[in-house]
Amino acid sequence: MEFNKPTDIQFKSIPHIMKGEDVMAIAQTGTGKTGAFVIPVLDKLEKSGRKNYTGVRTLVMVPTRELAQQITTVFKEIGKDTSVKIMGLYGGVEQEQQIKRLEKRVDVLVATPGRMFDLISQGFIDVSGVEVLILDEADLMLDMGFLKDIQDIVKKIPKHRQTLFFTATIDKKIKSLAYSVVRDAIRIQISPKNPVARNVDHAVTFIEMDDKRFFLENILREYEEDMFIVFVRTKVRAERVVAAMERVGVKTQFFHGGMEQADRFKLLDSFRKEEFRVLVTTDVAARGIDIPSVKYVINYDLPEDPELYVHRCGRCGRGTNRGQAMSFCSEGEMAFLTLIEEYTGEQITRHEIDKSDYKAIVFDSEDPTFDWKSLLDDDNKFSGTEEEW
């Protein structure tokens, strides 16, 4: 799998997890948190016996279906030559196949709360002997209203267990949750002053809202061999951006929460296999999605929540790879940019576009629907003589 050396979070976490200690880890997105718990947990499960217990031995709770599927895949890839049995459990798919799988031995269950509690209540999941509880993306779980679910599962599993608590951000609510589930935990924090992952170079450029599609087209044509994730604010915007790129012959796919779950999984799998290179998405893909070959992130729309900016940027520069994130900021989004810079603690690098270059990019577009006459008549948009144009 081309793991050559541990990342910082792996280097600091794995020895403590191997010793059976509780761990509370705070690390930016893209720093290798999944490997930090998957590797030692698989090793421990492979080396220790089951005795008479037939239920789930390690329970990984996650906030989203995509994250559940992704972590399940990592467990299976790293543990393929072990005897450890791994299962992902989430909603959006039929229960019957999941129930059949649960009838067989399951050592590691990676689950979202809703479907997990449904099947626990129906008697299909035994968590009475769980040895390790892992809460991944705990801050997002709180944001999504899963606090009670976490509290409920803690009541159902043994008090004497190992708990691994992973979060990208830390505040009073997260601390309160962490200390309610861990015992004498080793606290590990990998968080430089700027929360954007150090492997990611990020910048902003100022582009009017109606012109953004031309600049996206320009970038995608210039880097036509590379993988991109393009973030927009709404699912309608995602579909419109894809339609705009189709008009100019640039192949893209949209991804958002309004799609059927099976279609979302299929699309992400296709993207991982590099069957297409540009994914246009809402913030449903801002956290947890790990596709190492993505080199560039484009914030086509700036997010209203500055924390989402950090998570979006973290979709590139995964592990030890380097990545680049570019944000398009319109006049109406300046307030969002200010919030982001207050959150990150520093001014984002400005990428200035020369006026003549700006005009050239707009005019070079192959969009057949663009109204060139209106652009020429719009004196407020650009200044200059016809010769300068």
**Is 366 part of any domain?**
yes
Write the DSSP string, 6-64: --HHHHHHHHHHHTT--EEEEE-TTS-HHHHHHHHHHHHHHHS--TT--S-SEEEE-S-
CB-based burial, 153-177: b 16+ in 10 Å, e otherwise:
bbeebeeebbbbbbbbbbeeebeeb
3-class secondary-structure state, position 233: coil
Burial class (CB in 10 A: 0-12, 13-18, 19+), 143: middle
**For residue 384, is pLDDT > 70?**
no
- In degrees, rounded to 5, the angle at the alpha carbon of residue 27 between the alpha carbons of residues 24 and 31 is 130
Quote the pTM value: 0.71
- Residue 167 token pair: 């979060």
3-class secondary-structure state, position 332: helix
Query: Structural domain of residue 278, as residue ranges?
Result: 200-377
8 phi/psi in degrees, rounded to 5 = -60, -45
**Is 1 part of any domain?**
no
Q: In terms of domains, do 180 and 257 share one?
A: no
Of 190, 215, 230, the domain-final residue:
190
**Is 274 part of any domain?**
yes
- Residue 102 token pair: 């649960």
Q: Which residue has the tokens 């560039």?
A: 296
| Nearest residue to 315 via CA among 284, 285, 338 | 285
* Cα–Cα dist 122/219, whole Å: 52
Q: In terms of domains, do 101 and 239 share one?
A: no
The per-residue pLDDT for 383 is: 44
Q: In terms of domains, do 222 and 85 share one?
A: no
The per-residue pLDDT for 385 is: 40
| CA atoms within 13 A of residue 281's CA, in its CB half-sphere | 22
Q: Are strands 253-255 and 108-111 parallel, antiparallel or unpaired?
A: unpaired
Q: In terms of domains, do 138 and 233 share one?
A: no
Residue-wise pLDDT for 269-326, tens only, equals: 999 999 999 999 999 888 778 888 999 999 999 999 998 998 899 899 887 788 999 9
Q: In terms of domains, do 185 and 204 share one?
A: no
Provide the β-strand partners of residue 189. 26
The per-residue pLDDT for 370 is: 64
Q: What is the CATH number of the domain that holds 283?
A: 3.40.50.300
Q: In terms of domains, do 164 and 283 share one?
A: no
Give me the mean pLDDT over the 175-203 stretch: 83
Average pLDDT, the chain: 88
**Is 155 part of any domain?**
yes
Residue-wise pLDDT for 8-30, tens only, equals: 899 999 999 999 999 999 887 77
Give the total number of structural domains in the chain. 2
Burial class (CB in 10 A: 0-12, 13-18, 19+), 384: exposed
Q: List, edge to edge, every strand of the sheet that includes 200-206.
A: 253-255, 278-281, 227-231, 294-299, 323-329, 200-206, 349-350
Of 163, 190, 217, the domain-final residue:
190
* Cα–Cα dist 314/370, whole Å: 34
**For residue 162, is pLDDT > 90?**
yes
H or E segment at 194? none
Residue-wise pLDDT for 83-126, tens only, equals: 999 999 998 888 899 999 999 899 999 999 999 999 999 999 99
Write the DSSP string, 346-370: SPPEE----HHHHHHHHHT---TT-
Residue 375: band (very low, low, confident or very high) from pLDDT cuts 50, 70, 90: very low
Q: In terms of domains, do 114 and 222 share one?
A: no
**For residue 386, is pLDDT > 70?**
no
Write the DSSP string, 248-279: TT---EEE-TTS-HHHHHHHHHHHHTTSSSEE
Residue-wise pLDDT for 206-252, tens only, equals: 999 999 999 999 999 999 999 999 999 999 999 999 999 999 999 99
Give me the mean pLDDT over the 52-58 stretch: 89
Q: In terms of domains, do 207 and 169 share one?
A: no
The per-residue pLDDT for 388 is: 36
**For residue 376, is pLDDT > 80?**
no
**For residue 387, is pLDDT > 50?**
no
H or E segment at 203? strand 200-206
* Cα–Cα dist 386/383, whole Å: 10
* Cα–Cα dist 54/56, whole Å: 7
Q: In terms of domains, do 209 and 355 share one?
A: yes
**Is 2 part of any domain?**
no
The per-residue pLDDT for 378 is: 47
The per-residue pLDDT for 171 is: 81
**Angle, helices 306-313/334-344, rounded to nearest 10 degrees:** 70
Q: Which residue has the tokens 């582009």?
A: 207
Q: How many helices (H) does the chain have, and how many strands (E)?
A: 15, 14
Provide the β-strand partners of residue 88. 110
